[in-house]
Each structure stands twice: as structure tokens, then as C-alpha cells.
Amino acid sequence: MSDDTDDSTDTWRYAGRRTLAGALQRGLGRGALRAMADPAAPDLITHCLRRDHRWDWQVDDRAVYLARLVRDLEMPVEPIADRLFTAPAEQSDHDNEFENTLEVLEALGRAGAGDAVDGVRRYIREGDRWLDVLEKVAASWPCERWEDLYPSVAARLASAADQAWWRSPPWTTWAARDAWIAARVATARRPVSPRPFADQPTTTLLARLRDPAHARDHDPVLRELRRRPPEPALLELVDDLLAGGPRAALSAAIRRLGPAALPAARDWAATPEHPLTWTALRILAAHGDDTDAAALIAGLDWLDGRPDDLCGYDVLVEGLARIGGPAAVDVLPRLGRLWFSPHSFERSDYLRAWVALDPAGASRFLVEGLWDCEAGVRLLAARHAPLTDTTRERLCHLRDDPIETAEVRAAALTRLAGATATARP
């Protein structure tokens, strides 16, 4: 699994991709494999726990990856749990230690690691952000690992008067024994966004969009149109609506048009600096044909010009894989670079495109993917990685590992069962 790409896109946030530190920071399977034999790995993993290297904390995953490394390397869990007490109370642009640590402990506890369960329970009894921790583990841990904390929690509820109560554990579990909790669960309501134009016909909404006097209504009108059947007449209004600046609601409403928006999208994609460039590329990726492959390749170049934003490559790569053909294959050299992005959420789409466009070339990345941080990558790898002694052993591990997601475990089970059936005379 050699890395034959350069480090030209590395930033100050990440170690070089050829290093163990860089592989661990990116959640790459090669990092997990190398860590098993490198004495420096525990210190580097500790650094990854204290410094969250995910590009997008909302969607990138490291919890199972790091938790598995902590367990397999037999790293002590108590010091990790102690970090919940010392991590900065507020998340900042460069510090997400509390959430990162909690997610890893939650994964370990979900798999039954006693030290992780004990550390989290202690924090719920004593820590400042106990409500956040309690609700997270109550959503995924078996009830018996947290339900008996009720007496300790009940004593702390006075400080939670402003808590947003939901119809979910632990509150629904404890409502039967606590009238105060039951009353708040019974009145819990999720916020509902207003729809000021819900009762107006589409013709009236289009008229409002045409009238500059109603410019302040344009965004809520567009949001309402997004909820309705596609309206091709919206395309006639695009230039006038853009005069007031970019509108996210306009982009979403236009994408609802699907193939009907293709002619306009091709024009926008071919117009330098057009405000709907990204909208156009998304439409071409979802609905275009082989004549649009060159525009999608050019779209990747356009994304390269935004070095502070690593998002969106997956959309274009997925579109090229769907289109297929010789023009789409031009994306393959780029996948070798994109594979090392710290924005790991998109990695499964890169691998899926590889499998579709170059199955033979995808093999080594499928093998590496069995150790990847993203469940989507591990799922693809479990289904498609070439079967060798090494990959069979890994599939057995994924099948039986309680820290793994249910879907990946099921895929590993199915693959092994199919391989066994095929091997029978």
C-alpha cells in the first residue's frame, strides 16, 4: 500500500501523508495497520484524541477507528476518560477535544469496555457537561449501563431547568419514576419552522418572485417552492433573482427541477465565475450524460482552486462514476490524491467510483479500506475486497467485533458465508 502521491496539499494542521502520524490523523487504514507494529503509535493516537484532526467534525468519523486502536494496543482508558474533566469547556475552531474524547469513549463503552463505561459514568455524576454526555450514551448504550444513574442525576436536575427535553432516552426511561421529568417529556416539542406561504398557489409565489417589491419574501418563497413539484418557470427568473446576490434557497429550488435544468446548467457551468457554478455542477453530476464528463472534470479543477474547502469532490466523482465511459476514466489519477484528504466522509464515494471505473486498480484500496475510519469505506471493502488469507482474517474480525457498526458486521458475515459456500465442492 505505497503512497506514490506528493504532499503538496498538506497544511499546517496535518503531518505528511507518508508518515504514521499523517495516516492516523486522516483515519487511513494504512495508519491502523502500521500502528500495530510501531512503538510510537500510542503517543500519536493520544495526540489524535487531544487534537481532533477531522476536517468536518459534523460528518467525518474517527470514533470507531481510534477506539479500536486504543483497545487493540491495550492503551489505558482511564487517562482518556479523565480528559473529559480537563478538556476546554467550549468548542473552538481548533479545539474539539471534549467531543472527540466522548465519541471514542462512547464507542468503547458500546462494545463493553468496562474502564470506558466507568469513566463516563463518573463524569455524569461529577462533570460539568454531564447532560451532553448522558444523552449521548443513553442513545447508544444498553440501558443497564446508565439507567441506575437516576439517583445521581435526580440530584443534579435542579441545575437543568432550561434543558431542552426530548422524547428519547434517558428521559423517556425515567419518566415513569419521576413526575417532574414526565411532565417535561409530555410537553416536549421539536421546533417547527414557519411556512408563511404554505397556503398560497404556485402561480402567486412565482408572481412574488417576479415583483422586486417583494424581494424580502424571495427566500421564504423559494423554500416553499422547494417543497412542491418542480416548477420549470423558475428558470426564467434566475437572472433577476441573482441580481440580489447568491441565494442558497434558489440553488435548492433549481436542483428540484432535475433533468429539466440540464440545458441551463450546461450554460452556467461553461460561464466563468457564474454564481450558480456549483449548482450547475451538482445538476450535471446527478443528471448529465457522457457529454458532461469534461465539465465535471473541469469542476474538479474549480474545486482545487478553493484550498480552504475540501468538500464537494464526492458529488462530482460520483457523477463521473455514474456516467462512466472513457471521459470519466480521466478522474482516476485524481482519486489517488483525494484518497488522502482529511475530509474522510467523502472517501467512500471515491472508493465506489474506483470500483465502478477501474475494479482492478481499486483492489489495493479496498484491502486498505477494511481498516478505514469511515464505516462506508469499510462496508464497501467488506463487500468487494479480494479474498486472501489476510482479508478473510480481517473480515472475521469485523464480523465479530462489537465495536463495529451493525451494517459492516452483517456485510462481513454475508461475504464470509458466500465465500464458504463457493469453496464447497
pLDDT tens string 348-404? 999 999 999 999 999 999 999 999 999 999 999 999 999 999 999 999 999 999 999
Dist. CA 10–CA 4, nearest whole Å: 15
**Angle of helix 389-400 versus helix 375-384 axis, rounded to 10:** 130
**Angle of helix 359-369 versus helix 347-357 axis, rounded to 10:** 150
β-pair partners for 92: 95
Q: What is the pLDDT of residue 221?
A: 94
Cβ proximity of 330 and 297 under 8 Å: yes
Dist. CA 8–CA 30, nearest whole Å: 20
Q: What is the pLDDT of residue 425?
A: 56
Radius of gyration of the chain (CA): 25
Q: What is the pLDDT of residue 402?
A: 95
Three-state DSSP class for residue 95: strand
Single-letter amino acid code for the residue at 298: A
Q: What is the pLDDT of residue 161?
A: 62
Q: What is the pLDDT of residue 88?
A: 87
Spans in the chain with pLDDT lower than 70: 1-12, 91-94, 161-164, 189-191, 245-246, 421-425
Q: Whole-model pTM?
A: 0.91
| Nearest-5° Cα angle at 312, 346 to 262 | 125
Dist. CA 204–CA 251, nearest whole Å: 20
Q: Which of 274, 212, 214, 268 has the alpha carbon at shortest distance from 246? A: 274
Three-state DSSP class for residue 214: helix
Q: CB-hemisphere CA count at 13 Å for 321? A: 21
Dist. CA 393–CA 118, nearest whole Å: 31
- The residues, any chain, with a CB within 8 Å of residue 297's CB and separated by 6 or more, are 320, 327, 330, 331
Distances (CA, A) of 244 to 212, 216, 239, 241, 263: 10, 10, 10, 6, 23
Cβ proximity of 346 and 338 under 8 Å: yes
